Structure formats: structure tokens, C-alpha cells
């Protein structure tokens, strides 16, 4: 593991670090820790949507429907500019190929993975969390559907199931350091 003060390679100085994964995988939490460790700003796209529409995510899903919510999320994602922030995305970002292509152009995509049982134990408000899902879709079905998409789009993958937040944060930084030279 690298020390906390180790800077990222030059190849990543102007790249966002984009976190994708299921709700409950820790995107916002680990995003905040990464931002602190790396001296970057955190951009939480769920919070951006809530601020833009001045309503919580569940109200947006209720108002726009799950497909309309995904469209608005995709529009917001494709409007993000290049930079060097930590971006914690909404879990449904992977439904937009255009959005994911844009994120791949401006950043490194890190999939925070965990098993279904872990995700289920972390999500206590599945019905009211503001998930952009079909109203009849179970957590298991949503998990299976999205897992393939997360794996398709990720440059890196960090299992967040058993380790604490600090260990996961440093493991992501270590992966970024090892990955960067291969992309030059």
C-alpha cells in the first residue's frame, strides 16, 4: 500500500476519478475520503441533481419516472467538463452509453463492487431511496442488471465488501498509481 502523501502520477493530474457502483457501495463516502487524501474536490452527481431541481431524488423519480430520471442524469453527466475532481455518480449512470463514454474521456472509472447481501444490508430504504428503477424491480434484479454494466465500463475495480473505508481508499489510490503508467 502507498503512503497517504504519495501524489498521483502526472498522467492523472488532469483526470477525474469517477466512482460507479450500486447504491450502498460507498461512492459518496469513499469519494469524500479520496478527495481529502488527494486534495481534490468531490462532485456528487446525486446532490447536483437534487440542487438543480430543488427536490430530493425520490421526488425526482416520482415526478419524472425512472426513465425520465435516467435521462436527466445522463444530461447532467454529459455536461461535466474535464478536470481533476472525484466524481461520485448515481448508481444508474451506467444506463447511458453516451454518459459513460463521456466519463471515460474525462476520467478514470472505478467500480466499487460488493455482493448483493452486503448491498442489501446497507440499503435500509430501498423503496424510498430515489433509485431510478422500474417500480416492480427487486433489489436482486437491479443488482444483476447493473453489475454487468459496471463491469463493462470500469477501468478499475475495488471490492468494498470487507475492508474499512481507509483500507479501500488506499487500495483505490494504489490501483490508480499502478494503472496510470499503462495508459500513457
Q: Which domains does the chain have, with CATH numbers?
A: 10-183 (3.40.50.300)
| Burial class for 1, CB neighbours closer than 10 Å (0-12, 13-18, 19+) | exposed
Q: Read off the pLDDT of each residue in 26-53 and give the average, rounded to a whole number.
A: 94
Neighbours of 117 (CB within 10 A): 9
Neighbours of 104 (CB within 10 A): 14
Contacts of 32 (CB under 8 A, 6+ apart): 42, 86
Contacts of 89 (CB under 8 A, 6+ apart): 18, 19, 20, 27, 45, 77, 103
User: In angstroms, rounded to a whole number, what is the distance separating the alpha carbons of residues 178 and 173?
Assistant: 9
- Minimum mean pLDDT among 73-82, 118-127, 162-171: which range? 118-127
What does the pLDDT look like over 148-170, one tens digit per residue?
A: 999 999 999 999 998 899 999 99
- Nearest CA to 110 out of 21, 42, 29, 22 is that of 21
Q: How confident is the model at residue 137 (pLDDT cuts 50, 70, 90)?
A: confident
3-state secondary structure of 13: coil
The three grid cell numbers given for residue 81, joined into one nine-digit string: 467538463
16 bridge partner residues: 107
Residue 147 in this model has a pLDDT that exceeds 60: yes
What does the pLDDT look like over 95-119, one tens digit per residue?
A: 999 999 999 999 999 999 999 999 8
User: In angstroms, rounded to a whole number, what is the distance separating the alpha carbons of residues 4 and 20?
Assistant: 22
Q: Read off the pLDDT of each residue in 60-89 and give the average, rounded to a whole number.
A: 91
What does the pLDDT look like over 3-20, one tens digit per residue?
A: 444 578 888 889 999 999
User: In angstroms, rounded to a whole number, what is the distance separating the alpha carbons of residues 94 and 177?
Assistant: 25
pTM for this entry: 0.90
Residue 2 in this model has a pLDDT that exceeds 50: no
pLDDT given at position 184? 45
pLDDT given at position 1? 43
User: What are the helix and strand counts (H, E) for the chain?
Assistant: 7, 5
pLDDT given at position 125? 58
Amino acid at each position: 500500500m502507498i503512503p497517504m502523501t504519495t501524489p498521483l502520477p502526472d498522467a492523472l493530474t488532469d483526470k477525474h476519478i469517477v466512482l460507479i457502483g450500486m447504491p450502498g457501495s460507498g461512492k459518496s463516502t469513499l469519494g469524500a475520503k479520496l478527495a481529502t487524501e488527494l486534495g481534490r474536490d468531490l462532485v456528487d452527481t446525486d446532490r447536483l441533481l437534487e440542487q438543480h431541481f430543488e427536490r430530493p431524488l425520490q421526488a425526482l423519480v416520482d415526478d419524472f419516472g425512472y426513465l425520465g430520471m435516467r435521462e436527466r442524469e445522463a444530461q447532467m453527466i454529459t455536461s461535466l467538463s474535464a478536470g481533476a475532481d472525484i466524481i461520485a455518480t448515481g448508481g444508474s449512470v451506467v444506463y447511458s452509453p453516451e454518459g459513460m463514454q463521456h466519463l471515460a474521456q474525462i476520467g478514470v472509472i472505478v467500480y466499487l463492487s460488493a455482493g448483493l447481501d452486503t448491498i442489501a444490508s446497507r440499503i435500509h430504504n430501498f423503496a424510498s431511496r430515489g433509485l431510478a428503477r422500474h417500480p416492480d424491480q427487486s433489489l436482486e434484479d437491479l443488482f444483476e442488471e447493473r453489475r454487468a454494466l459496471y463491469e463493462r465500463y470500469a477501468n478499475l475495480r475495488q471490492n468494498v465488501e470487507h475492508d474499512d473505508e481507509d483500507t479501500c481508499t488506499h487500495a483505490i489510490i494504489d490501483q490508480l498509481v499502478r494503472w496510470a503508467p499503462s495508459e500513457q
